[in-house]
Amino acid sequence: MDKRGVALIFTFFVVIVLSILLVGFFLKSVNENRMVIRHINSMQAFWVAEAGIAQAIADLPTQHYPSPLTQTLGTPPNKFNYSVTSNWISSRIDPITGDTINIYQLDARGSVTNTDITRDIQTFVSFTPPTIGGFNSAIEVKNTLKILGAAIISGGPKPPYWTDAENHEDLTFAKDKSSFNFQQRFDIAPEEVKAYARSKGHYFEDPNPSLPQYAITNPLADNMADAIYWVKITDSKKQLQIPKTGWQGNNVILIVEGNCDVEGGTFSGILWVMGELKIAGNTDINGAVLSEDTTDITSVTGKPDLYYDPVAISKAGGLMGDLGTRAIVAWREAP
- Domain of 56: which CATH number? 3.30.1300
- My answer on whether 113 and 143 are in the same domain is no
Distance CA 243, CA 208 (A): 14
**179: left (phi > 0), else alpha (psi -120 to 50), else beta?**
beta
Q: Quote the domain boundaries for residue 121.
A: 34-128
Residue 27: inside a domain:
no
What pLDDT does residue 4 have?
64
- My answer on whether 277 and 152 are in the same domain is yes
- My answer on whether 220 and 309 are in the same domain is yes
What pLDDT does residue 216 have?
59
- My answer on whether 55 and 186 are in the same domain is no
- My answer on whether 124 and 147 are in the same domain is no
Distance CA 256, CA 278 (A): 12
Residue that finishes a domain, picked among 65, 96, 128:
128
- My answer on whether 87 and 216 are in the same domain is no
Residue 93: inside a domain:
yes
* Adjacent-strand bridge partners of 156: none
Question: In a structure prediction context, what are the per-residue pLDDT tens digits for the chain, which is 335 residues long?
Answer: 566 666 667 677 767 777 777 777 766 666 667 787 888 888 999 999 999 999 889 888 866 656 777 777 776 666 889 999 988 888 888 887 777 889 999 999 999 988 889 999 999 999 988 888 999 999 999 999 988 888 888 886 544 444 444 334 336 789 999 999 999 999 999 999 999 999 888 898 887 666 555 555 655 655 788 999 999 998 888 888 887 777 788 999 999 999 998 988 889 999 999 999 999 888 899 999 999 999 878 989 988 889 999 999 999 999 998 888 899 999 999 77
Residue 199: inside a domain:
yes
**187: left (phi > 0), else alpha (psi -120 to 50), else beta?**
left
Distance CA 140, CA 20 (A): 88
- My answer on whether 223 and 295 are in the same domain is yes
- My answer on whether 91 and 179 are in the same domain is no
Residue 24: inside a domain:
no
- My answer on whether 248 and 275 are in the same domain is yes
pLDDT in tens, 29-65: 666 677 878 888 889 999 999 999 998 898 888 666 5
Other C-beta atoms closer than 10 Å to the C-beta of 292 total: 18
Residue 4: inside a domain:
no
Q: Domain count for the chain, please give it.
A: 2
Q: What is the value of pTM for the model shown? A: 0.74
76 in Cβ contact with 67 (< 8 Å): no
Residue 274: inside a domain:
yes
Strand locations in the chain (E) = 65-73, 80-93, 100-112, 118-128, 139-141, 145-147, 152-154, 174-175, 203-205, 215-217, 223-232, 239-242, 248-257, 259-262, 266-273, 277-279, 284-291, 298-300, 305-308, 325-333
What pLDDT does residue 66 have?
66
Q: Return the closest-CA partner of residue 73 out of 121, 38, 111.
A: 111
- My answer on whether 96 and 223 are in the same domain is no
Residue 153: inside a domain:
yes
Distance CA 190, CA 275 (A): 14
- My answer on whether 110 and 143 are in the same domain is no
Residue that finishes a domain, picked among 128, 152, 184:
128
- My answer on whether 204 and 115 are in the same domain is no
Residue 260: inside a domain:
yes
Residue that finishes a domain, picked among 128, 162, 183:
128
What pLDDT does residue 69 have?
77
Residue type, 279: I
